[in-house]
C-alpha cells in the first residue's frame, strides 16, 4: 500500500528543487498535494510535471493573506490536512558589515515568519496522526562564512521543532526537521553560476568537503521527508534528520 494513501498534504515552495521532488514522491505515494510557489508560470509547469493529485496555489509564505487563502481552499475542498512540509525559503550571502535591513527582513520573513505562520494556520485542519516536517539545513548547525542571517534562520527552524513538539503534546501531531546539506538543485546552481565549466569546478571542489564525496540529489532529500511524513516514523518527534553526506556528523 502507498505510504500516504488518502492523505492530504501541502508542500510550500514546491515549484522546484527539494519541494518539487517531494511533491512528486508524495503524489506517487497516494497523497493529494497542494503545492505553493511565488511565480504562477513556474508553478503551473511544476503542477503539470508532478501530475495527478497535485493542485497549485500561487502565493508567498511571508504574506499571511496568501497563507489564509491557501488553507481556506484546502478546508473548502478537502476539509482536512494530514501532512505539512514547510519547505519554502530563501538564502542569501552578505558579510557582517554589509548586512542591511532588507537582507535581514527578506530571509527571516520567508524562513522564519513564513514557516511559523504556515504551521500555525495549518494546525486547525489537522488532527491526531498529522505530521509537520520543517525544512531546516545543516547551516543551522554550522558557521558558514557570510551567511550569518541565513544560518540563524535555520537554527530557529530547529528550535521550532523542539518547542512545537512540547506545545503539541497530547495532540497526536508530530513535528520533525529535515536538514539538507549540499544538494544539486536549481537554487544551488544559481548560487554557483549554473552549469558552466567554472560552476562544475566549484561543485567538484565543494564536494571534497563532504564525507561521501559528492553533492546529494533532491530526490534523496524527498525520501527522507517521506519517511518523516509517513507512519514509518510514527515514534519520531522533535528530531532533526540530516541529509548532508555526513558533513555535520563528522
Q: What angle do CA 228, 233, 237 make, to 5 degrees?
A: 80
HSE toward the beta carbon, residue 20, CA cutoff 13 A: 19
Do 113 and 158 meet the contact criterion of CB atoms below 8 Å apart? Answer: no
Task: State the catalytic residue, choosing from 34, 150, 227, 235.
Answer: 150
Question: With contact defined as beta carbons under 8 Å apart, do 176 and 185 qualify?
Answer: no
In tens, the pLDDT along 109-164 reads 999 999 999 999 999 999 999 999 999 999 999 998 999 999 999 999 999 999 99
**What is the distance, to the nearest Å, from the Cα of residue 119 to the centroid of all Cα atoms in its chain?**
12
Place of cell 553533492: 215
Q: Does the active-site annotation cover 150?
A: yes
| Whether 55 contacts 47, CB under 8 Å | yes
Q: Which domains does the chain have, with CATH numbers?
A: 8-243 (3.40.50.720)
C-alpha grid cell for residue 166?
A: 512540547
Taking only the tens place, the pLDDT of each residue in 197-219 is: 877 888 888 889 899 999 999 99
Q: What predicted TM-score, i.e. pTM, was given to this entire model? A: 0.94
DSSP assignment letter at 29: T
Amino acid at each position: 500500500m502507498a505510504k500516504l494513501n488518502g492523505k492530504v498534504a501541502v508542500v510550500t515552495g514546491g515549484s522546484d528543487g527539494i519541494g518539487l521532488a517531494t511533491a512528486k514522491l508524495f503524489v506517487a505515494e497516494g497523497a493529494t498535494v497542494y503545492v505553493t510557489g511565488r511565480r504562477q508560470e513556474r508553478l503551473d509547469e511544476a503542477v503539470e510535471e508532478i501530475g495527478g493529485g497535485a493542485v497549485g496555489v500561487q502565493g508567498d509564505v511571508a504574506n499571511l493573506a496568501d497563507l489564509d487563502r491557501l488553507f481556506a481552499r484546502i478546508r473548502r475542498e478537502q476539509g482536512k490536512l494530514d501532512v505539512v512540509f514547510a519547505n519554502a525559503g530563501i538564502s542569501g550571502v552578505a558579510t557582517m558589515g554589509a548586512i542591511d535591513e532588507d537582507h535581514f527582513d527578506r530571509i527571516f520573513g520567508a524562513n522564519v515568519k513564513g514557516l511559523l505562520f504556515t504551521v500555525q494556520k495549518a494546525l486547525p485542519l489537522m488532527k491526531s496522526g498529522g505530521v509537520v516536517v520543517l525544512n531546516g539545513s545543516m547551516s543551522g548547525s554550522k558557521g558558514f562564512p557570510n551567511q550569518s542571517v541565513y544560518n540563524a534562520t535555520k537554527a530557529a527552524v530547529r528550535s521550532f521543532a523542539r518547542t512545537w513538539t512540547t506545545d503539541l503534546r497530547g495532540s497526536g501531531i508530530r513535528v520533525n526537521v529535515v536538514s539538507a546539506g549540499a544538494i544539486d538543485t536549481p537554487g544551488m546552481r544559481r548560487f554557483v553560476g549554473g552549469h558552466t565549466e567554472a560552476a562544475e569546478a566549484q561543485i567538484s571542489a565543494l564536494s571534497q568537503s563532504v564525507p561521501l564525496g559528492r553533492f546529494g540529489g533532491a530526490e534523496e532529500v524527498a525520501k527522507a521527508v517521506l519517511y518523516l511524513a509517513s507512519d514509518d516514523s510514527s515514534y519520531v518527534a522533535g528530531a532533526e534528520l540530516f541529509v548532508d553526506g555526513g558533513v555535520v556528523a563528522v
